[in-house]
Amino acid sequence: MMSVVIPTYNEEKNIEKCLKSLLNQTLPKREYEIIVVDGESKDNTVKIAKRYADKVINQKSKGVGGARNDGVGVSNGDIIATTDADCIVPMNWLERVKSNFEDRSIVMLYGPFKPLEDCLKNRVLLKISEVIMYTLYKSHIFYATLGANCAIRKEVFISVGKYKELPAADDYELAIRIKRLGKIKYDKSLHLKFSLRRMKKIGIIQTVYECVLYPIKLIFHADIKCKNYNKFDY
């Protein structure tokens, strides 16, 4: 079984489309559950989510990573898939996730994005992002495992200590710890529609810092911090 975990906060305009896309999958519904973790939304997010999700819980931990941790805590699946409330997944998204994990050597999976707000600028930006993601993946230096389009074996996720509380790139940092335990795969066909509204809100400079510069800093520091992880049996 798989569990899909979605963090939310004031997403009444987006959550219904996201959840409907998750219910319209080629994979039979009995093979997966949908978990929404809400961070005390002030709008109708929770009310809408309860119409479609199997579980809607209140977030107790900090940050988006913490919300995903909370979702995993109530999950029944042995594979955890994560996306965001403003994303739309294609009909075969979960079937592709399941198919990839039939390879027992794979412990983590991620894929590229298509723009939800479709225009030339956004298509170009995400295409550049896709090329960079794939180049880094092939180099085995860095895995851009964005939580909006990612899946992981639950036992591995728990064994490395789940998401850490970081100001940015907590999803990238998770991959640094996980890569010691098995194969991380980038599936170019595992795409979904992704909103660039946040980039528009915070600006291109801050986006570049969070998506490029901060992870670079993280790599050099995380390798030092993570050397102890394989010394402990979590």
- In terms of residue numbers, what domain contains 68? 2-231
pLDDT in tens, 169-203: 788 889 989 998 999 999 999 999 988 766 655 45
Q: Which is nearest to 142 in space by CA: 181, 182, 187, 176?
A: 176
Instruction: State yes or no: pLDDT of 167 exceeds 90.
Output: no
Alpha-carbon distance of 63 to 195, in angstroms, equals 19
In this prediction, residue 220 has a pLDDT band, given cuts at 50, 70 and 90, of: low
C-alpha distance from residue 192 to each of 34, 53, 88, 196, 203 (Å):
17, 19, 6, 13, 23
pLDDT (mean) for 126-140:
71
User: The whole model's pTM is what?
Assistant: 0.83
Alpha-carbon distance of 83 to 85, in angstroms, equals 7
| Owner of token pair 């994560």 | 82
Quote the Cα angle for 86-91-94, to 5°. 85
| Owner of token pair 């490395």 | 160
pLDDT in tens, 67-107: 999 999 999 999 999 999 999 999 999 999 999 999 999 99
Q: Which is nearest to 197 in space by CA: 10, 6, 4, 5?
A: 10
Q: CB neighbours (10 Å) of residue 57? A: 16
pLDDT at site 106: 97
Alpha-carbon distance of 184 to 201, in angstroms, equals 31
In this prediction, residue 206 has a pLDDT band, given cuts at 50, 70 and 90, of: low
Q: How many domains does the chain have?
A: 1
CATH number at residue 62: 3.90.550.10
- Here the tokens at position 193 are 């529609």
Instruction: Report yes or no: 169 and 214 within 8 Å, Cβ to Cβ.
Output: yes
Task: Give residues with Cβ within 8 angstroms of 72, minimum separation 6.
Answer: 3, 5, 80, 154, 157, 158, 162
pLDDT at site 158: 96
| Owner of token pair 């939580």 | 147
Q: Which is nearest to 173 in space by CA: 196, 146, 209?
A: 146
pLDDT at site 71: 98
pLDDT at site 119: 74
Question: Where would I find the beta strands (DSSP E) of the chain?
Answer: 2-8, 32-38, 55-58, 79-83, 106-110, 113-115, 149-153, 183-186, 192-194
pLDDT at site 216: 59
pLDDT at site 87: 96
Instruction: State yes or no: pLDDT of 121 exceeds 90.
Output: no
pLDDT in tens, 22-72: 999 999 999 999 999 999 999 999 999 999 999 999 999 999 999 999 999
Q: CB neighbours (10 Å) of residue 44? A: 14
